[in-house]
């Protein structure tokens, strides 16, 4: 009689590539958003899709293709898979200066979410422009504050 296979356990993190460009040897790609997939389980996992969760009440899945990563992609036990998404493409879909969530789907149909993360923080370049991304339009603040210099 066959035992039950352990459930996949993935850790999903969302961050700005500029924070991590020294860790990865991607020449010249610093303006990117990083979805880092880490397989914490004992078996290989096949990642078939990745992207962002829309920041509206519908919580739709926005599918993205990363730099140099063809999906599906197998991730071995205790291994990671960096999925880099072009900064301008990400910025058009979600407000990176507001809490955002990444999603990853496996070939078994399971979905894993990152914690909600504010990718671009007030002290980082690009924060102000990310308050107004192209497709996602949150309600504008009553009195926009000017950045302090």
Give the integer Cα–Cα distance in Å for 121 and 127: 6
* Angle ∠(81,87,88) on CA atoms, nearest 5: 140
Give the integer Cα–Cα distance in Å for 106 and 74: 9
pTM value is 0.75
Give the integer Cα–Cα distance in Å for 130 and 139: 14
Give the integer Cα–Cα distance in Å for 136 and 101: 14
Residue 81 structure tokens: 């898979």
Domains in the chain, ordered, with CATH?
10-127 (2.60.40)
Strand-pair partners of 7: none
Which pLDDT does position 96 carry in this prediction? 84
Local confidence pLDDT in tens for the 149 residues of the chain: 556 777 889 999 998 865 444 444 545 555 788 899 999 999 999 999 999 999 999 999 998 876 668 899 999 999 999 998 888 888 888 888 889 999 999 999 999 999 999 887 666 666 666 655 444 444 444 444 545 44
Strand-pair partners of 33: 16, 85
Strand-pair partners of 74: 46
Of 44, 49, 65, nearest in space to 12 by CA: 49
Which pLDDT does position 69 carry in this prediction? 80
Cβ contact 40:92 at 8 Å:
no
Which pLDDT does position 21 carry in this prediction? 47
Give the integer Cα–Cα distance in Å for 83 and 59: 21
Cβ contact 61:79 at 8 Å:
no
């Amino acid at each position: 009689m066959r035992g039950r296979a352990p459930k996949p356990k993935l850790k999903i993190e969302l961050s700005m590539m500029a924070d991590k460009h020294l860790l990865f040897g991607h020449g010249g790609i610093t303006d990117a958003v990083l979805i880092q997939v880490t397989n914490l389980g004992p078996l290989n996992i096949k990642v078939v899709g990745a992207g962002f969760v829309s920041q509206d009440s519908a919580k739709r899945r926005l599918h993205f293709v990363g730099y140099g990563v063809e999906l599906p992609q197998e991730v071995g036990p205790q291994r990671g898979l960096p999925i880099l998404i072009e900064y301008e493409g990400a910025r058009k879909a979600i407000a990176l200066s507001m809490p955002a969530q990444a999603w990853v789907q496996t070939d078994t149909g399971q979905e894993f979410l990152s914690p909600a993360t504010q990718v671009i923080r007030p002290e980082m370049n690009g924060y102000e422009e990310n308050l107004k991304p192209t497709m996602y339009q949150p309600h504008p603040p009553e009195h926009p504050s000017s950045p302090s210099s």
